[in-house]
């Protein structure tokens, strides 16, 4: 709008507007042009990597045109927008997704083949965009896909980390972390050097009188850092809508300290300042479900939040509306408490910079924000120390105190004789030092709070947030059960299955309305269909077997039952119980006669996942898995009957290969600890069954697919507290089968028992907080039931097809529509196809 082409010249402009390629020939021409000019190579030195780069650039050109049109259309329509604030976006690869979403993968496949390449190999060249830890970050990525596919005017806001989640290597059975420098060649981002925001830190606050004679607070910065926008286009599936993900990168603010020092000869310290500024967006914190309270992390949070809000407010101001209309134009969703400072920042903008009265400003703030909680684990609930906030963000601390004061005053009026509730719900915890409870601040500053699966949403209302339900009433709290995008997690990851489903359900409509999968139930007895279904699973297992051979050297039989647990390594997710179970199976096999052994079902126990670098117990679990594998996989007596493998560097693109190859996957968290889980949905959607506890979304999956199609075991969340109490204060007897496993570990069968002493003593001596012993025998029984069911191959296939047919509920499209209706009050922007 500021610098557009004058009317008379627009016609010429429009005549020359790039069109992107339209057919295979046009695509090939673009690829060759990019190889020869953009990449400065030729047909004599074009390898797969160059073919990838050129293909990506050709598709990027295409995306960019729709992206521009989408932004123009959304600006012109001037309707309410959604802003999804997330510190993590676990995007994975972009090329395959872009080709499928714009409907030109077949064309590209033919074009690349004509130029001498296999599209699968070209796709594999891309480095994952891994700006996230696990479920929370991948959920944000699925949401972006659904928002665009459903034509919602929506932006994601995040940080452009120079280093994403570390690359995991397994060396001598131990995890080693290698930095993930992913920006060498990234065609999917567009630097916007003209879109920058100065972000201030430290300094002090002064009271000043403004032009209207009112006293206002003025925050004098101690340090300023520049935020530079990098935009990533997000194409919707089968729609022209291409939304924007804006990632902020930190740079030294020019003119601040660098040039002064440079001129005075202090070059080195100028460079040091520059590097310090760039450190803010340098690295993703690699913790999943853990808060470590580091100052740099707080700087990241404020940097990102302040830049995003400045951007959002700037866009709103261009519409010349009155402030009270802000919540009718803007919905901001907080992905966990990481962006909670946005609440304080918006209040600061409104009262300090825009001159609104407190109450009017606060109304706007509360109506703008929604907060999603992703965990009840106490160690993951964010708290920031008051002295730290005082130092870094002095004005924000004052505002937080005021928010708390007004909040507690209303609570006091509501519950006049209850002293305890004031202490319990105070945003400030009266500890030494005082701490700010970010979840409480997020609740007070939002109009809706949601959990991510039914059990989880009930739990937050009855445990960690129960007092807030009394204060605000139950309607402020709601549930939105997580979902996954069927585009990536079925169509892209499992193309053959997607085609087979399309052939039986009347086309690819299920990709935009996943409930259409229910038509599959009509074909469950169709012989040819069942046969092809089984063949596809087998082919996916063959592909995984090749990967296992290539990366671990272990030969596995693709006809064996593939038993998969891939997710972040965490005690609450109980990979330790899984590996103890594998040891139990090994001991049982060893105790059998050769005749008995011959009757057993071969099994491959497959693990994958990263441990946070500072999580000692998680690393010990990885080491035990590898140590058990080293023994079992080389035991001649056992042969194919049991293999144990750990796949290194589990990430989104590996998930796309592993998940379609699973027969049974493990979702076995201690009841009440896994908020939802989302890989459980991906496995079932790909025709695998699950063994799991009554936790998170497993419960709703069971409700949808029927309990006859899932292997549930273990104690219920209501029982957990009492069991933990008994372990500590009553008598605690370790399950005898588990005791035998411990005895074997302590005999040294899997290497030095000292290496695994922590895992054993956590159960035996330290109260077994995660109830491994309590659930062990039902876990083992449940695995026996899995074996039994798998022997009946026909029955197994029936279970798988029936389950897939009933998974329609778990699309992230359903999930996003629920957010849009119940929390954001936004509507899709209709587009002509």
Quote the DSSP letter at residue 379: G
Q: What are phi and psi of 163, to 5 degrees?
A: -120, 120
Shortest approach of ligand Z2T to residue 382 CB, angstroms? 8
Angle at 645 between CA 642 and CA 646, to 5 degrees: 155
Catalytic residue among 348, 682, 727, 799: 682
By beta-carbon distance, which residue lies closest to ligand Z2T? Answer: 135
Shortest approach of ligand Z2T to residue 696 CB, angstroms? 6
Shortest approach of ligand Z2T to residue 114 CB, angstroms? 42
Q: Find out whether 545 and 561 touch, Cβ atoms under 8 Å.
A: no
Q: Which is nearer to ligand Z2T, 313 or 823 (CB)?
A: 823
Q: Find out whether 241 and 70 touch, Cβ atoms under 8 Å.
A: yes
Catalytic residue among 62, 109, 567, 570: 567
Q: Which is nearer to ligand Z2T, 662 or 678 (CB)?
A: 678
CA-closest candidate to residue 236, choices 63, 454, 451:
63
Q: What ranges make up the beta strands (E) of 388-512?
A: 428-429, 435-437, 448-451, 477-479
Q: Which is nearer to ligand Z2T, 454 or 499 (CB)?
A: 454
Contact footprint for ligand Z2T (CB under 6 A): 133-136, 139, 288-289, 336, 374-375, 380, 452, 482, 674-678, 696
Q: Is 567 a catalytic residue?
A: yes
Q: Is 374 a catalytic residue?
A: yes
Q: Which is nearer to ligand Z2T, 196 or 373 (CB)?
A: 373
Q: Which is nearer to ligand Z2T, 91 or 604 (CB)?
A: 91
- Cα–Cα distance between 91 and 247 in angstroms, integer? 13
Q: Which is nearer to ligand Z2T, 133 or 149 (CB)?
A: 133
Q: How far is C-alpha 312 from the chain's CA centre? A: 23
Q: Is 814 a catalytic residue?
A: no
Q: What are phi and psi of 687, to 5 degrees?
A: 75, 30
Catalytic residue among 81, 105, 162, 374: 374
- Cα–Cα distance between 661 and 540 in angstroms, integer? 5
Q: Which is nearer to ligand Z2T, 334 or 745 (CB)?
A: 334
Shortest approach of ligand Z2T to residue 376 CB, angstroms? 9
Q: Which is nearer to ligand Z2T, 139 or 514 (CB)?
A: 139
Catalytic residue among 678, 693, 727, 783: 678
Shortest approach of ligand Z2T to residue 345 CB, angstroms? 21
Catalytic residue among 60, 93, 570, 573: 573
Q: Is 75 a catalytic residue?
A: no
Shortest approach of ligand Z2T to residue 570 CB, angstroms? 8
- Cα–Cα distance between 441 and 406 in angstroms, integer? 12
398: enclosing H helix or E strand = helix 394-414
If DSSP codes are grouped into helix, strand and coil, which group holds residue 333? strand
- Cα–Cα distance between 263 and 258 in angstroms, integer? 9
Torsion of CA 38, 39, 45, 47, to 10 degrees: -110
If DSSP codes are grouped into helix, strand and coil, which group holds residue 391? helix
Shortest approach of ligand Z2T to residue 809 CB, angstroms? 15
Cβ partners under 8 Å of residue 135, min gap 6: 288, 374, 567, 568, 676, 677, 678, 679
Shortest approach of ligand Z2T to residue 540 CB, angstroms? 24
- Cα–Cα distance between 721 and 732 in angstroms, integer? 14
Catalytic residue among 80, 504, 568, 715: 568
**Residues recognised as catalytic:** 374, 567-568, 573, 678, 682
């Amino acid at each position: 709008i500021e610098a557009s082409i004058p009317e008379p010249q627009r016609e010429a402009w429009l005549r020359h507007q790039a069109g992107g390629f339209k057919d295979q020939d046009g695509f090939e021409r673009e690829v060759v042009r990019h190889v020869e000019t953009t990449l400065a190579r030729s047909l004599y030195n074009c390898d797969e990597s160059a073919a990838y780069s050129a293909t990506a650039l050709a598709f990027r050109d295409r995306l960019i045109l729709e992206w521009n049109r989408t932004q123009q259309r959304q600006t012109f329509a001037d309707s309410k927008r959604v802003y999804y604030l997330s510190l993590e976006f676990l995007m994975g690869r972009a090329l395959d997704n872009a080709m499928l979403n714009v409907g030109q993968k077949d064309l590209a496949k033919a074009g690349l083949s004509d130029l001498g390449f296999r599209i699968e190999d070209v796709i594999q060249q891309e480095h994952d965009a891994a700006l996230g830890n696990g479920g929370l970050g991948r959920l944000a990525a699925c949401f972006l896909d659904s928002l665009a596919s459903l034509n919602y005017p929506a932006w994601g806001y995040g940080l452009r980390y120079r280093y994403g989640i570390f690359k995991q290597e397994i060396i001598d059975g131990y995890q080693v972390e290698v930095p993930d420098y992913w920006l060498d060649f990234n065609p999917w981002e567009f630097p916007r050097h003209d879109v920058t925001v100065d972000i201030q830190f430290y300094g002090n606050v002064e009271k000043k009188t403004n032009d209207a004679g009112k006293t206002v607070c003025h925050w004098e910065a101690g340090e300023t850092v520049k935020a530079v926008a990098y935009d990533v286009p997000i194409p919707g599936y089968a729609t022209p809508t291409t939304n924007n993900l804006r990632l902020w990168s930190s740079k030294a603010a020019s003119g601040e300290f660098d040039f002064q020092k440079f001129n005075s000869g202090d070059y080195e310290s100028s460079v040091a300042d520059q590097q310090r500024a760039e450190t803010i967006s340098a690295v993703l914190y690699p913790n999943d479900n853990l808060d470590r309270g580091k100052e740099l992390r707080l700087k990241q949070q404020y940097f990102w939040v302040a830049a995003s809000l400045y951007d959002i407010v700037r866009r709103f101001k261009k519409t010349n509306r009155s402030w009270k209309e802000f919540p009718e134009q803007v919905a901001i969703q907080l992905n966990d408490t990481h962006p909670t400072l946005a609440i304080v920042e918006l209040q600061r903008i409104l009262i300090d910079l825009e001159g609104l009265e407190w109450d009017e400003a606060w109304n706007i703030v509360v109506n703008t924000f929604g907060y999603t909680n992703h965990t009840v684990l106490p160690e993951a609930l964010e708290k920031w120390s008051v002295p730290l906030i005082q130092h870094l963000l002095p004005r924000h601390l004052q505002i937080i105190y005021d928010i708390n004061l007004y909040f507690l005053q209303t609570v006091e009026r509501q519950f006049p004789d209850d002293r305890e509730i004031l202490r319990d719900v105070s945003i400030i915890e009266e500890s030494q030092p005082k701490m700010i409870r970010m979840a409480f601040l997020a609740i007070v500053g939002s109009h809706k709070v949601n959990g991510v699966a039914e059990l989880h949403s009930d739990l937050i209302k009855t445990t960690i947030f129960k007092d807030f339900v009394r204060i605000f009433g139950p309607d402020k709290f709601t549930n939105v059960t997580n979902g996954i995008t069927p585009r990536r997690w079925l169509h892209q990851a499992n193309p053959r299955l997607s085609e087979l489903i399309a052939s039986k359900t009347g086309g690819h409509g299920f990709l935009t309305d996943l409930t259409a999968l229910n038509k599959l139930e009509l074909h469950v007895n169709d012989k040819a269909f069942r046969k092809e279904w089984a063949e596809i699973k087998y082919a996916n297992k063959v592909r995984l077997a090749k990967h296992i051979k290539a990366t671990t050297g272990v030969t596995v039989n693709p006809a064996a039952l593939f038993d998969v647990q891939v997710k972040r390594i965490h005690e609450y997710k109980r990979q330790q119980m899984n590996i103890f179970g594998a040891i139990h199976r090994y001991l049982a096999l060893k105790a059998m006669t050769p005749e008995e052994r011959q009757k057993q079902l071969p099994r491959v126990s497959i693990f994958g996942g990263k441990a946070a670098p500072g999580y000692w117990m998680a690393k010990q679990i990885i080491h035990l898995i590898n140590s058990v594998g080293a023994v079992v996989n080389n035991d001649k007596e056992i042969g194919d009957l049991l293999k144990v493998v750990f796949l290194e560097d589990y990430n989104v693109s590996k998930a796309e290969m592993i998940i379609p190859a699973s027969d049974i996957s493990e979702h076995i968290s201690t009841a009440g600890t896994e908020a939802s889980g989302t890989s459980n949905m991906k496995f079932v959607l790909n025709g695998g069954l699950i063994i799991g506890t009554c936790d998170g979304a497993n419960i709703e999956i069971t409700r949808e697919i029927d309990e006859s199609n899932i292997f549930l075991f273990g104690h219920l969340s209501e029982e957990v507290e009492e069991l933990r109490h008994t372990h500590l204060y009553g008598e605690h007897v370790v399950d005898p089968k588990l005791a035998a496993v411990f005895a074997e570990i302590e005999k040294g069968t899997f290497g030095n028992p000292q290496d695994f002493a922590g895992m054993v003593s956590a159960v035996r001596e330290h109260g077994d907080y995660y109830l491994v012993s309590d659930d062990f025998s039902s876990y083992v029984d449940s695995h026996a039931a899995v074996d039994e069911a798998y022997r009946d191959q026909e029955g197994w296939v029936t279970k798988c097809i029936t389950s897939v047919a009933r998974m329609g509920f778990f699309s992230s499209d359903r999930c996003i529509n629920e957010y849009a209706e119940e929390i954001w009050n936004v509507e899709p922007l209709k587009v002509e196809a």
